[in-house]
Structure 1
Amino acid sequence: MRVRVLLGMLGVDVHSRGLRTVSRILRDAGVEVIYLGEHNSAAGMAAAAVAEDVDAIGVSFSVSTYTHYVADLTAELRRVGAQDIPVMVGGLIHPEDVEHLRSLGVAVVFGPDSTPDAILDYVGGLARAL
């Protein structure tokens, strides 16, 4: 079975180069990527995740308000009964925020030093679990 991953950015963050790079890496590895791009709302991303029946959601941030947006997304996923979809957070994430993000329901955090192999290993684990 092929893994389906929804990728997007929440709020007003427009630095999408990292997200586009991850999208290409995943697609080149055979992952089906549903790319929403920039300026998404938590409700819109959660609805798309359910409609597209994805195996994971990836959000990327280069702004410091990511904990607020992640809290909104995980709350919305719970509201629509999709809290079982793993949320991957990446971008300019402060190491001291990782535990807080996990407490919000984030499955994995990929910071600026994360490698493509680390991302592919995580997504590969999803594929093995299907």
Structure 2
Amino acid sequence: MSPTTERPVRCALGMLASDKHNKGLRMVAKLLRDQGVEVVYLGEYNTAQTIAKAVVDEDVDLVGISAFTGNYVKKMQDLMTELERVGASDVPVMLGGLIHADDEEAIYAAGVDVIFGPRKGTEDILEYIAKLKATANAR
């Protein structure tokens, strides 16, 4: 009997529009890579369309968006609409950054799976990734 090999979780990481505060995004990319996650680093200045295209083209299991500038609620709504349009609405989306607690309800209503705002730490991200891996391996 040959051992089964588990496909690593693949995660696309990026920022939408003119958001250029990429230190947090780079930190999360390293954190995920250290946990065996394959990171598709999209960087800054993306549109909902370019991120959705990468989700499909790169066959990712997870999308991570970092937000530090305003209008992130609308940007996330646009992204979730675009993911649905390209047939990738089943791919979980996590949002991190300076997310105001008053905006979380609207972001979750748009379809975002998890928010890592100022009150969350790297251990919360690691716990989420562990659950995602366990779910993927159970399939």
Q: TM class by shorter-chain length?
A: over 0.9
Match of 2:4 in 1: none
| Larger gyration radius, structure 1 or structure 2 | 2
* Separation in structure 1 between the aligned mates of residue 102 and residue 80 of structure 2, nearest angstrom: 19
How far has the Cα of 1:126 moved from its partner?
1.1
TM-score, normalisation: structure 1: 0.97
Match of 1:114 in 2: 120
Letter in structure 2 aligned against 1:54: V
* Separation in structure 2 between the aligned mates of residue 10 and residue 125 of structure 1, nearest angstrom: 26
The one of 13, 29, 35 equivalent to 1:7 is 13
Letter in structure 1 aligned against 2:56: V
Letter in structure 2 aligned against 1:37: G
The one of 3, 19, 30 equivalent to 2:25 is 19
Letter in structure 2 aligned against 1:42: A
TM-score, normalisation: structure 2: 0.91
* Separation in structure 2 between the aligned mates of residue 60 and residue 117 of structure 1, nearest angstrom: 17
Stretches of structure 2 lacking an aligned partner (at least 5 in a row): 1-6
Letter in structure 2 aligned against 1:17: K
Which structure 1 residue ranges, 4+ long, deviate > 2 Å from structure 2? Answer: none
* Separation in structure 2 between the aligned mates of residue 58 and residue 39 of structure 1, nearest angstrom: 14
1:101 aligns with 2:107: yes
Match of 1:41 in 2: 47
Q: Over the residues paired in the alignment, what is the CA RMSD in angstroms?
A: 0.7
* Separation in structure 2 between the aligned mates of residue 120 and residue 52 of structure 1, nearest angstrom: 22
* Larger RCO (CA within 8 A; separation ≥ 6): 1
